[in-house]
Structure 1
Amino acid sequence: MNIKHFYDQALAQGSFAIESDGKVALVDPSRDITPYVQFAEENNAKIVAVFETHPHADFISSHLEIQEKFKAEIYINEKVGVSYDFTPMKHGDEVQIGKVTFKALFTPGHSPDHNSYLLIDENGKQEAVFTGDSLFVGDVGRPDLREGAGNIQASRKELAGMMYNTVNTIFKDLADDTIVYPAHGAGSLCGKNMSSDLTSTIAREKANNWAFQIKDKAKFIDAFLEGQSFIPKYFPNSVEVNRRGATELEEAIKKVEKKEGAEIPSDALIIDTQPQEAFKKSHLKGAINIQNKKDDKFETWLGSIVGPNEKYYLVAQNNKDLDFAIYRAAKIGYESNLIAAVVQPKGETVQDPQINLEDFRKNPDAYTIIDIRNSSEVADGKFFQSAKNIPLPELRERTSEIDKQKPIIIHCAGGYRSATGFSIVKRLLPDAKVYDLSDAVEEFK
């Protein structure tokens, strides 16, 4: 038996390939099938199965493409309500792949249709459990994503109660040395207290994970519901795309219209993927800057700022960067609403003003300060007492709340988000004086 853990740092998303006796099973595969195909080839094996824990909200799965290309069987809880061919897995059902067995564990709480999969080796030992978004290292999956999406919907309080039962009647009874393989790590928006460790054991989670420590159900529910982060705009859409099954990645990307030197309408929604330093020197008027370096959270912020039904343009300075941006947009299903992807577009360009830090230090009250961090971050303390908090995902909808009688300062925690926030405010309040505090925020913490 060979278990391979694949990890997408940008989305903090884990997927798995398990090889046994020349057969490969995948758990929660991401949209790009390339690494799984390579794994199968390296092990002289064939992909025969995909185990889906639930319809994911934060990324697009490749389960349908894998089924169509390799005739693999898809295993999923029937409560998900899918339209493609699948084999239903309810609690206790078992499937043998090579010499190992996958046993379904019904583990609702993050979603009402969630399965985990217990991996049992040829000697009957509980080797590992693939917990999806139910059990993380140090946390459990948030319960507030299925109030308006999916075949079965449930309130966050109902789901919190389900999670209490899952922790105390399913995971608690697994063997202590069972390895825990979750679908996410620190940085994912599917939980709030995740460890930076990507794997654990049941014994370690029982000893350290907060969810195992609270014995009273009502107190568990209260603790669980408190302090959850924002829900990106794209999350409900991804649930539905994954329930239907996404089109092949390569085919989807080929459909995106690419242009060079094209003129983009001035009123269009433009996402410019340049690093902030280059963006500030020259960009199309009204463009929104979402930086696209390798480990930037490009997918998260694209899907948090642009709605799933909004049409938009992607802009980059060269074809390599443009292709990378299209690929990353496709990871969350956002390639389908691209009007076009453009290299070196034509149109009115502007240069952004630089903040006079000395003046801001001496006269902070002369500025309107907008803190675009998440509410949970602000609860831990403000950097400026007079700052108004408008979280970045809400900024496009709440720009009218900003006092533009004074120069406007945009800040976040480190400078990445403020570049995006600055470009949004400048787009929607073109006559206002707007400045990005950027990484200079460090000296005011």
Structure 2
Amino acid sequence: MQIDQIYTACLSQASYFVESNGEAAVIDPIREIDYYLNKADRTKSKIKYIFQTHFHADFVSGHLSLSKTTNSPIVYGPKADPNYDCIIAEDRDYFDIGNIKIQFIHTPGHTLESSSLLLFDEEGKQHSIFTGDTLFLGDVGIPDVAQRYKGLSKEKLAAILYESINNKIKPLNDDIIIYPGHGAGSACGKNMMKETVDTLINQKKVNYALNGSCDKDEFVEKLIKNLPEPPAYFPANVKLNQDGYDDVEDILIRSDVPISIDEFKNYILDPSIIVLDTRSATDYIKSHIKNSIFIGLDGRFAPWVGEIIKDIKTKIILICDRGREKEAITRLSRIGFDNCLGYLDGGMKKWIKKGNEISKVNSIRPSEFTDILKLNKVNILDVRNISEHAKKHIEGSINIPLSKIENRKNEISNKETFLHCAGGYRSVIAISILQKLGYKNFKNIEQGFNGILESDLNENCYSSSQQVVL
């Protein structure tokens, strides 16, 4: 038996390839399926089943493409209602893969159809459990309000999840291995550990959902407290996973195309088209096309695209470093943004070489900023998350998380404002949005709050606060 965890860092998502004696199962595949096909070839195994723990909201799964390519059935747990042929397993149903068995265990709460997959090894012993978004390491899956179940509140879903964890997962053998669907950084949980594999016995020590530290009412209260609104693309991704989608290869055929400078200039006259600059923050600061939105490939690209652009049907044209065009299109497709029209031929280098107009971002080093702060009272906009700001921030700074910038634009001053995040990635995204909205008087603090902390700013200039959700 062999278990491979395939971790997609940008999405903080884990899929799995499980092989035994020439047969394999794939669990929660991402949209591009080459890895699973290549792995099956290398192990000389046949993919027998494609298991889905639930309808994913934060990414488009590769289950349909993989099923079409391999002629393998898709399997969901109870309560699933996809609009395509598949197997709907009953609670406790078994599936043979080579010399091992996988049992579907219905564990609703994150969603109504959520299931966990209990693996029995060659000796029939409980070996591991693939918990999807039901149980994470150090945390649990938040109620998936993106699906908007009629008549079911987040409180009710949380109560259902409590029963699933305590009645279905907690009684399993202590030594089994937990393979979750996500790691730290995913929007499907709140306080996940950075590790992506653990044992049940250790989680019983460190996970509040398993260590007996709270009863059902306390669990529900803790889980739904400060529960964020799901990103706008979540319901759209659920629908794609329920109804179907185009293969990544088809998207690349129509999207991986160069756009000439003249054609590009015509496109940017259309306000419905987003110019998305995927280069580094440093390069964007030095030169970019007016009204382009920066979201760099070297950060959490796909989740921020979904947070900022919101409508997955938006037409997008790309500015990329040479050789990264296909990567950008593929990563957009992971969250259902399939309407990419192409990329600027020759990128910014050719644009500048041809003498076209460019814009820049005003930036300041942390040491320069702290020198100014020592002498003057200044406007400071902190675009970190509420919890980051609450932990420690500059006294007098205004906190508007990046995901709320556009909705709360009326709170932003037109006076000179110094803007920062934690490390310098989110702040440049924020400035690109504000520039597109017509704000001009911003200075980006390079290296963000981390850089400020390393400066000689007096500790009295910092503050902390109770976390408040706005």
TM-score strictly above 0.5: yes
- Quickly say closer, same or farther: Cα 1:271–1:131, change in 2 above 3 A: same
- Quickly say closer, same or farther: Cα 1:242–1:364, change in 2 above 3 A: farther
* DSSP-derived class of the 1:218 partner: helix
- Quickly say closer, same or farther: Cα 1:300–1:440, change in 2 above 3 A: closer
- Quickly say closer, same or farther: Cα 1:199–1:44, change in 2 above 3 A: same
Provide structure 1 residue ranges, at least 5 long, that are not aligned to the other structure.
none
* DSSP-derived class of the 2:377 partner: helix
- How many angstroms does 1:421 deviate by? 0.7
221-230 vs 120-129, greater mean Cα deviation: 221-230
> 1:252 maps to what in 2?
251
**Aligned partners of 1:288 and 1:424 also within 8 Å:** yes
**Aligned partners of 1:288 and 1:420 also within 8 Å:** yes
Percent of counterpart pairs with the same letter?
33
Deviations 1:277-296 (A, max 9, x none): 11111111111111112xx2
Q: Give the residue type in structure 2 aligned to 1:129.
A: I
- Quickly say closer, same or farther: Cα 1:440–1:16, change in 2 above 3 A: closer
Aligned: 1:393 with 2:403: yes
- How many angstroms does 1:319 deviate by? 4.1
Q: For 1:282, which of 261, 282, 287 is the aligned residue?
A: 287
Aligned: 1:121 with 2:121: yes
CA distance in 1, matches of 2:158, 2:17: 30
What does residue range 272-421 of structure 1 map to in structure 2 within 5 Å? Answer: 272-293=277-298, 296-309=299-312, 311-334=314-337, 336-343=338-345, 344=347, 348-355=357-364, 357=369, 360-366=372-378, 368-381=379-392, 383-404=393-414, 406-421=415-430
Q: Give the residue type in structure 2 aligned to 1:313.
A: I
- Quickly say closer, same or farther: Cα 1:374–1:88, change in 2 above 3 A: same
- Quickly say closer, same or farther: Cα 1:299–1:109, change in 2 above 3 A: same
**Aligned partners of 1:227 and 1:376 also within 8 Å:** no
Aligned: 1:211 with 2:209: yes
What does residue range 3-82 of structure 1 map to in structure 2 within 5 Å? Answer: 3-82=3-82
- Quickly say closer, same or farther: Cα 1:384–1:37, change in 2 above 3 A: same
> 2:460 maps to what in 1?
none
- How many angstroms does 1:153 deviate by? 7.3
341-350 vs 209-218, greater mean Cα deviation: 341-350
Q: Give the residue type in structure 2 aligned to 1:436.
A: N
- How many angstroms does 1:318 deviate by? 4.0
**Aligned partners of 2:421 and 2:448 also within 8 Å:** no
CA distance in 1, matches of 2:450, 2:185: 21
Aligned: 1:159 with 2:163: no
* DSSP-derived class of the 1:379 partner: helix
- How many angstroms does 1:190 deviate by? 1.3
> 1:442 maps to what in 2?
450
> 1:173 maps to what in 2?
171
Q: Give the residue type in structure 2 aligned to 1:221.
A: V
- How many angstroms does 1:363 deviate by? 4.6
Aligned length: 436
**Aligned partners of 1:107 and 1:170 also within 8 Å:** yes
- Quickly say closer, same or farther: Cα 1:169–1:184, change in 2 above 3 A: same
CA distance in 1, matches of 2:30, 2:117: 17
> 2:180 maps to what in 1?
182
- How many angstroms does 1:322 deviate by? 1.8
**Aligned partners of 2:159 and 2:216 also within 8 Å:** yes
Provide structure 2 residue ranges, at least 5 long, that are not aligned to the other structure.
454-470
**Aligned partners of 1:283 and 1:349 also within 8 Å:** yes
**Aligned partners of 2:256 and 2:329 also within 8 Å:** no
- Quickly say closer, same or farther: Cα 1:226–1:380, change in 2 above 3 A: farther
CA distance in 2, matches of 1:121, 1:73: 22
**Aligned partners of 1:113 and 1:152 also within 8 Å:** no
- How many angstroms does 1:253 deviate by? 2.0
Q: Give the residue type in structure 2 aligned to 1:165.
A: E
CA distance in 2, matches of 1:98, 1:82: 27
CA distance in 2, matches of 1:443, 1:217: 43
10-19 vs 371-380, greater mean Cα deviation: 371-380
**Aligned partners of 1:116 and 1:130 also within 8 Å:** yes
CA distance in 2, matches of 1:81, 1:318: 42
**Aligned partners of 2:277 and 2:293 also within 8 Å:** yes
Deviations 1:98-152 (A, max 9, x none): 2211111111121121011111123221111110011111111112x23x42677
Deviations 1:2-32 (A, max 9, x none): 1111111121111111112211111101111
TM (normalized to structure 2)?
0.88
CA distance in 1, matches of 2:151, 2:253: 35
212-221 vs 8-17, greater mean Cα deviation: 212-221
CA distance in 1, matches of 2:102, 2:149: 25
**Aligned partners of 1:58 and 1:332 also within 8 Å:** yes
Q: Give the residue type in structure 1 aligned to 2:372.
A: F
**Aligned partners of 1:308 and 1:337 also within 8 Å:** no
Root-mean-square deviation (CA), in Å?
2.0
> 1:90 maps to what in 2?
90
- Quickly say closer, same or farther: Cα 1:429–1:319, change in 2 above 3 A: same
What does residue range 419-438 of structure 1 map to in structure 2 within 5 Å? Answer: 419-430=428-439, 432-438=440-446
